[in-house]
Amino acid sequence: MRPEVGWRPGGASEPAEAVSSFFGMEAMIQRAAPTPEALLARFGLDAFRPGQREAVQAALDGRDSLVVMPTGGGKSLCYQLPALGNDLNPARPLVVVVSPLIALMSDQWRRLREAGVRSTMLASGMEDGHNAQALREIAQGETQLVLAAPERFASGAFRDALAARRVDLFVVDEAHCVAEWGHDFRPDYLRLNDAIASLNGGPGAQGRPAVMAATATATPKVAEEIAARLGLRDWVSVRSGFDRPNLTFDVVSVEGKGAVARKRAALLYALREQSARPAIVYCGTRKDTEEVAGMLAQAGMATATYHAGMSPDARRESQARFMDGRAEVVVATNAFGMGVDKAQVRTVAHWALPTSLEAYYQEAGRGGRDGEWARALLLASRMDLGRLIRFIKEREMTVQDVKRYVASLRYEAQGEARLTIGHGELGERQRVLLSIAERAGAVELRPAGSDGLLVLLTGKGSPQKAHAAIQAARNRGWEAYKSIERYAADGELCRRRQILDHFGDPEQGRPTGRCCDVCDPDEGLKRAMAAAPAKARQRAGRTGRGSAGGRGSGTGGSSSAIAGLG
C-alpha cells in the first residue's frame, strides 16, 4: 500500500490551537511542495537522466527506494534535490548520506556547496575544529544535508546531533557494500539498519526516515539482499538501465608463447594516442603494478602506481598526481578507484581478470563519466583463471575453521565479551570467517568509529547456520568466477549484451560509437599484437620499482614504443 504523502500533525498532547495552526501551515506547504522539475531547475539543469525523476519523487513522497544506476548515471542528484527541497519546510528536516570513502564525500560536499545546498561532512583528517562545528550546525538546523562514513554512527556526539533533528531521508551510497556477498562488502555497513531505526523520521514515516539505497553494480540477487539488510519497506525499485552507450568494450585473449609480449603490445596500442588518456590500468598483483608502470613510463607516459603495499602518504600522492594531471596513467590494484571522480578518463584497462563481472563493470565504468567516448580493455589469460581458482580455494573453510577463528577472537579479548578490530586489519579470509560467525550467531558486529569494528562475543552459535553460510559463500565465489570466465571466453555474443544480461537488463544496447570487439573488431589492435615477437619479454625493461613518482615525457609516442617491443 502506498504510504500517505505529506506531513501530519504532532502528538495528541499538543494544544488544539497549536495543532490546528500547525496543520494549516503544513497543508499550505504541502500544496506548495516543489516538484522534481522545479528542484532540477534550481540546480541549473534542464533534464533528468533516466531514473532520476522517479528516485527524487520517491524521496519527496517519503518512500523507501533502491536506486540502481550505472557509474556516471547521476545517483547523487537523486538525494541532493530532496535536500534542496527542504528549504520551504519549517521543520528543517535533514538528509543523511552515508558514503564509504572520504574522497567521495569531499567531492560531493564541494559540489553541493557550489549548487547552494547547505551541507557538511564529518570525517577523520578534517581541519581542527571542523567536526565540532559540523555537529553544531547539524544540531541547530543550519545544514540541509550531512555526509558521513558508516563508522561515524558509533560516535555519541554524532548520534546526539542527529537526535535533535527530524531526518526525512537516509541515503546509503555504494549500497552494494551492505551485501555480504557483494564484491565490495564492508562490515561497517552491516548495522546501518540499527542506525536508521534510531533516527526520528517525519510524521507518517512510521518512526524512521525514508531510506534510499543507491548503487551502480547490483544484480537482482544482490539488490534483494540490500533491501533485506537495510529493512526497506514497500520500496520503489529504480533501475535506469546498465548500458553505458559511450563505452567501447574490448576483450583480448592472450595465450601461449609470447602472451606477455602481446599483452604489452595491446596495452601500448590502446594508450598510444594522447586522446586515450587519462587512463587507469588495473593489475592483479603489486608486482605487476610496478612492472607495468615501468613499461609505460619507458614508453614516454607520465605514470603513477597505487597499491596497498605503498604507504598512505605515497598512495595519496599518487592519487593527487593522477587527479591533477601530473600523471596521465595510474597503474593500480583494485585498491584504487572508489571515490575517485575523474570524469574524463578515456581508457580503463585490466592487465588481469578481476574476481567477478560485477567488479569488472564497476571498474570499467570509471571511464567516460563525462559522457564522451572511452574504452574498456580486458587482457584475458587462462593463467588469470588459475589465480582466481586458487583465490576461491584459499577462501574455502569448514565449521571447525569458524570455531577456531571465534576461539582466537575470544583469546584476543582476554576474558572480555568484546574486542575491537581496527580498520584494514581483516584479511580476505578473516573477513569471510567473521561474516560467517555473525550469520551463525557466534558474534554480533557494531561500528566502532575511528577504532574500527566492535565484535561482541555471544558465547553461542549454530553449527548448522555456519555450515549453510559456508556453502553459500562457496557458491557465490564460484558464481562470481563463472561470470567473468564466461565474459572473457565468449567471443560470439556482443560484450555489451553479456553485461546487460548479467545485470538483468533486457533493454537493447545503444552504443554511440564502436560497440565491442565482437561486433566491430579493432583491426589496428590485432595488427599491433601480431607484430609483437616472443623475445619482447626479455627486451621490455623492468624498471617499475621507481615508477611510483616517475614521470615520462607525456608525448605518447606510441609507434616507437610498440616498435621497441621488437
* Residue 69 Cα distances to 22, 36, 213, 217, 219, angstroms: 39, 18, 11, 8, 11
Count of residues making up the chain:
566
* Residue 63 Cα distances to 71, 92, 206, angstroms: 24, 18, 11
Number of H helices, E strands in the chain: 21, 16
Whole-structure pTM value: 0.76
Which residue bears the cell 584504487? 336
Percent of the chain exceeding pLDDT 90 equals 46
**CA–CA distance, 173 with 145 (Å, rounded to integer):** 14
276 is written with which cell numbers? 586515450
**CA–CA distance, 252 with 547 (Å, rounded to integer):** 26
44 is written with which cell numbers? 541549473
Q: Which residues have C-beta within 8 Å of that of residue 108, sequence separation ≥ 6?
A: 76, 97, 99, 147
Percent of the chain exceeding pLDDT 70 equals 83
What are the tens digits of pLDDT across the range 297-306?
999 999 999 9
What are the tens digits of pLDDT across the range 517-551?
999 999 999 999 999 876 544 444 444 433 334 43
Q: In this predicted structure, what is the pLDDT of residue 499?
A: 95
Q: In this predicted structure, what is the pLDDT of residue 179?
A: 73
Strands (DSSP E) contained in 427-550 are 443-447, 453-457
Residue 31 has pLDDT above 80, yes or no: no
What is the dihedral angle through the alpha carbons of 553, 555, 559, 565, rounded to the nearest 10 degrees? 20
What are the tens digits of pLDDT across the range 206-251?
679 999 999 887 888 888 889 988 999 999 999 888 899 999 999 9
**CA–CA distance, 377 with 266 (Å, rounded to integer):** 9
Q: In this predicted structure, what is the pLDDT of residue 203?
A: 58
DSSP secondary structure letter of residue 516: B
Q: How many CA atoms lie within 13 A of 181 on its CB side?
A: 22
**CA–CA distance, 248 with 250 (Å, rounded to integer):** 7
Q: How many CB atoms lie within 10 A of CB 426?
A: 17
* Residue 497 Cα distances to 33, 247, 252, 377, 516, angstroms: 41, 13, 17, 16, 10
246 is written with which cell numbers? 559511450
Q: In this predicted structure, what is the pLDDT of residue 468?
A: 92
**CA–CA distance, 234 with 218 (Å, rounded to integer):** 19
What are the tens digits of pLDDT across the range 246-277?
999 999 999 888 889 999 999 999 999 999 99
Answer whether 192's CB lies under 8 Å from 150's CB: yes
Q: In this predicted structure, what is the pLDDT of residue 145?
A: 94
Q: In this predicted structure, what is the pLDDT of residue 131?
A: 87
Q: In this predicted structure, what is the pLDDT of residue 474?
A: 86
Residue 204 has pLDDT above 60, yes or no: no
**CA–CA distance, 228 with 474 (Å, rounded to integer):** 21
Exposure string for 235-271, b = 16+ CB within 10 A, e = fewer:
bbebbbbbbbbbbbbbbbbbeeebbbbbbbbbbbbbb
DSSP H stretches of helix in 61-209: 77-85, 102-114, 130-139, 156-163, 192-197
Residue 558 has pLDDT above 70, yes or no: no
340 is written with which cell numbers? 575517485
Average pLDDT for 467-475: 88
| 3-state helix/strand/coil string of 376-400 | EEEEECHHHHHHHHHHHHHHCCCHH
Q: In this predicted structure, what is the pLDDT of residue 218?
A: 80
Average pLDDT for 125-147: 88
Angle at 17 between CA 15 and CA 20, to 5 degrees: 110
What are the tens digits of pLDDT across the range 137-173?
999 888 999 999 887 887 788 988 998 999 999 999 9
Strand ordering across the sheet containing 418-421: 418-421, 453-457, 443-447
Q: In this predicted structure, what is the pLDDT of residue 219?
A: 82
Residue 92 has pLDDT above 60, yes or no: yes
Residue 427 has pLDDT above 90, yes or no: no
**Amino acid at site 129:** G
What are the tens digits of pLDDT across the range 98-113?
987 776 787 788 888 8
What are the tens digits of pLDDT across the range 440-451?
999 988 766 566
Residue 32: which pLDDT band, with cuts at 50, 70 and 90?
A: low
Q: Which residues have C-beta within 8 Å of that of residue 75, sequence separation ≥ 6?
A: 67, 69, 173, 214, 215, 216
49 is written with which cell numbers? 537522466
What are the tens digits of pLDDT across the range 299-357?
999 999 999 888 888 988 998 899 999 999 999 998 786 656 788 999 999 999 998 99
Of 35-49, 142-156, 497-511, least confident by mean pLDDT is 142-156
468 is written with which cell numbers? 549453510
Residue 561: which pLDDT band, with cuts at 50, 70 and 90?
A: very low
